[in-house]
Structure 1
């Protein structure tokens, strides 16, 4: 039992005692911890544990992944998305009304990647797999408010911002209703714990100001978010340029997952090796012409779930830009450019088996048809650090090689 007799007998201190008592009893914190932790640390832990209770939902089964993750099988209508007032009391949709015309569910991957946790069995029907978030995950973030969120800016426009650097192919100037591509998966080195390296496609609308809407999916290495250097399948969304809305994966009310076989945020295995076998994933995002929601497909036709259209402003209608490529954060913490790698960590000139690629890059048009990119443009923020090159052939359609090592003789 914890005694509060050392506090002054005022109402405010009594309330503090009651609050601390409830936390210690519910969480079974040992008595000696309560006597030595500073008050600010206690307040921080209260906030962290309250947040964890919000995002870690009760599970019917937990799977210990060989890579260290705990995967909770959560009843589908209890996932974080249904904390949203507009979804409370509802259940997930069964699936999209239709997939884009020209879609080939087999995808003809070079080698398709998997997630190690699923080798031990999938979650039961009616549940979805959610990577459990731990106290350590939250405490690695710069603040609880920023946990699970990108730091501006996560989209390439005209200038680098917040240390973000990109090497992307993009199309704009039309109405887009989705995008699809295959990308090979690597394990780029991230040299600062607050940096990341990712490869993804972006579906974008808005003015690149506070009204920017994006939907993003691909793979990323983020030591801050996940606590390791594994590449992980991830999603992101925002409707106000990464300020107060949106998050990674299922860390807030956003994407509604419907799949019991793929865990968003879980590690991808196997990965590509330099001058060796190449492993890639297929990602497709598209706006369902009937329900208006933005659906996500991963791998060989696995429907993952959807972002409800009401989450967005501009994307309730369509996208105005689509991007494919890589992004890193250059924190400059040592006074010079980071050595964090993008893609394979090698420049695009090295080609297949050595450089990272996107292939079969396509967009979805107003008629829900997949079309090759037309008049695409390339942009590398610092080509001496990370570069990009494009090509086209009958087997790969429109493709790019991209990436680089970061700091080198030409990148200081």
Structure 2
């Protein structure tokens, strides 16, 4: 399992076995946390504090944490993709949906040639020490459940990107739980994946808001969320990866959606992230083994995480089952694939399969009519609760 760079237990276990006092262990752990903070938080030219208290440091773009990754030691910074897939559909032309927007940082964002990196605090390290880069759709994890649609390709072919407009909601979760909605691309073995979407995750973010999230797993099971470890190269100087999303959809009321796309640059093989028409940055191809060439599986859907012993599971999507339909259930619409490095196509029902591992709590239905009807769409989600075993 991929582990964040700031998770260290070895010394603590050694000290316990050798009779070191609890107070000494605490001092060692505190020292380790301080060292990790020094490594993760880079010198900055400006800092921006948001209304929610989160602090973003404007770090020189070529000095950001991404370049601490050993595979990026000689990486040449890319400021923008050299190609962009033709035909991406970033909005619903029927105006059925109102776009959720990406709120830019206050004070005009970071200066040119710098990028916003969330300042990591000691409580962040303590709170997130158990999180990894592995998503629940790629391995059997106790307490994780899903409802999704999957595109898998014939042997010998590949995908070079994926896009969809995703409904934005704020499902109810308890502390220790998480609910997320994502596009996930993967290849393997060895398993490599990139996930992009939105989540409500109080352990990761320290609040219950709906926020952007990214997650990746590369070579040797390295990887993490957002910029919590070296890897993702931020190029946008105004929009951070953990941005709060607003407005959100309401049950029986206005429906809000946001376009997420991830695509491979046709010259460098780097994977670029574009949200709502804004390019945020990329994962260099050198981070990956199997995913450095293309993706062989693409998943669109939702997932929840709860402690294994938890009786009640978190809500997924809008917290409603998909059969309630538009205006009540969460959705994916305008699903597209990049089947060549320069062109997008809409996926079709015959190309996909649907799956839900706990249908008493979550489900998915396919080929729904949403908005202008262009492309494949579906509803998914559920109330959680007691799922049965």
Match of 2:301 in 1: 325
Deviation digits for residues 297-325 of structure 1 (CA, Å, limit 9, x no counterpart): 111x2111111111111111111100001
Aligned partner (choices 238, 263, 269) of residue 286 of structure 1 = 263
Counterpart of 1:271 (choices 224, 243, 248) is 248
Distance in 2 (CA, whole Å) between partners of 1:37 and 1:168 is 46
Change (3 A) 1:91 1:314: closer
* In 2: Cα distance, 1:332 partner to 1:81 partner: 33
Partner residue of 1:53 out of 20, 38, 58: 38
Cα separation, 1, equivalents of 2:90 and 2:298: 22
Supply the distance in 1 between the matched residues of 2:249 and 2:388 (Cα, whole angstroms).
Answer: 25
- Give the aligned partner of residue 62 of structure 2: 77
TM-score by length of 2: 0.86
Q: Distance in 1 between matches of 2:252 and 2:34?
A: 45
Equivalent in the alignment of 1:359: 333
Q: Give the alignment partner of residue 78 of structure 2, picking from 87, 93, 101.
A: 93
Structure of higher CA gyration radius: 1
Q: 1:297 to 1:60 in 2, by over 3 A?
A: same
**Equivalent position SS for 2:31:** helix
How much does 1:339 deviate? 3.2
User: Shift of residue 119 of structure 1?
Assistant: 4.6
Partner residue, 1:398: 376
List 4+ stretches of structure 1 deviating above 4 A: 104-109
Equivalent residue for 1:165, pick from 123, 126, 145: 145
C-alpha contact 1:131 1:266 (8 A) present in aligned 2:
no
Preserved contact between residue 76 and residue 91 of structure 1 (Cα < 8 Å): no
| 1:187 positional shift | 1.3
Correspondence for 1:388 among 356, 361, 364: 364
Over the aligned positions, Cα root-mean-square deviation in angstroms equals 2.3
Runs of 5+ unmatched residues, structure 1: 1-35
Secondary structure class of the residue paired with 1:319: coil
Question: What is the aligned residue count?
Answer: 360
Judge conservation of contact 1:356–1:402 (CA < 8 Å) in 2: yes
Cα distance in 1 for partners of 2:178, 2:347 equals 28
Q: Residue 154 of structure 1 is aligned with which of 128, 136, 142?
A: 136
Is contact 1:69–1:266 with CA below 8 Å preserved after alignment?
no
Contact 2:198 2:211 in 1 (8 A): yes
What secondary structure does 2:51 align onto? Answer: coil
Structure-2 change in CA distance of 1:180 and 1:73 (3 Å)? same
SS of 1:199's equivalent? strand
Pick the aligned partner of 1:187 from 140, 165, 170: 170
What residue number does 2:183 align with? 201
Q: Conserved in 1, the CA contact under 8 Å of 2:232 and 2:284?
A: yes
Does 2:353 align with 1:377? yes
Output the CA distance in 2 between the equivalents of 1:367 and 1:134: 40
Which residue pairs with 2:12 in the alignment?
none
- For the Cα contact (< 8 Å) 2:166–2:259, is it kept in 1? yes
Out of 62, 65, 82, the residue aligned to residue 50 of structure 2 is 65
Q: Compute the displacement of 1:404 (Å).
A: 0.6
Equivalent residue in structure 1 for 2:318, among 325, 344, 347 = 344
* Distance across 2 between alignment mates of 1:196 and 1:41: 29
Which segments of 5 or more consecutive residues in structure 2 lack a partner in the other structure?
A: 1-20
Give the drift of 1:75: 1.3
Shift of 1:66: 1.5
Alpha-carbon deviation of 1:218? 0.6
CA shift, 1:265, in A, is: 1.5
Q: Deviations over 1:5-54 (max 9, x none)?
A: xxxxxxxxxxxxxxxxxxxxxxxxxxxxxxx9911111111111111111
Whether 1:123 and 2:110 are equivalent positions in the alignment is: yes
Structure 2 CA distance for aligned equivalents of residues 278 and 311 of structure 1 = 37
Match of 1:230 in 2: 209
Flag the 1:85–1:396 CA change in 2: closer, same or farther, 3 A: same
Matches of 1:77 and 1:329, distance apart in 2: 35
What is the aligned partner in structure 2 of residue 12 from structure 1? none
Q: CA deviation at 1:167?
A: 0.5
User: What do residues 310-345 of structure 1 show as CA deviations (whole Å, max 9, x unaligned)?
Assistant: 1111111111100001011132434x2x23111111
SS of equivalent to 1:38? helix
Per the alignment, do residues 104 and 387 of structure 1 end up closer, same or farther by CA in structure 2, a change over 3 Å counting? Answer: closer
Instruction: State the 1:359 CA deviation.
Output: 0.6
State the alpha-carbon separation in 1 of the partners of residues 73 and 384 from structure 2. 45
Instruction: Give me the whole-angstrom Cα distance separating, in 1, the residues matched to 2:204 and 2:114.
Output: 24
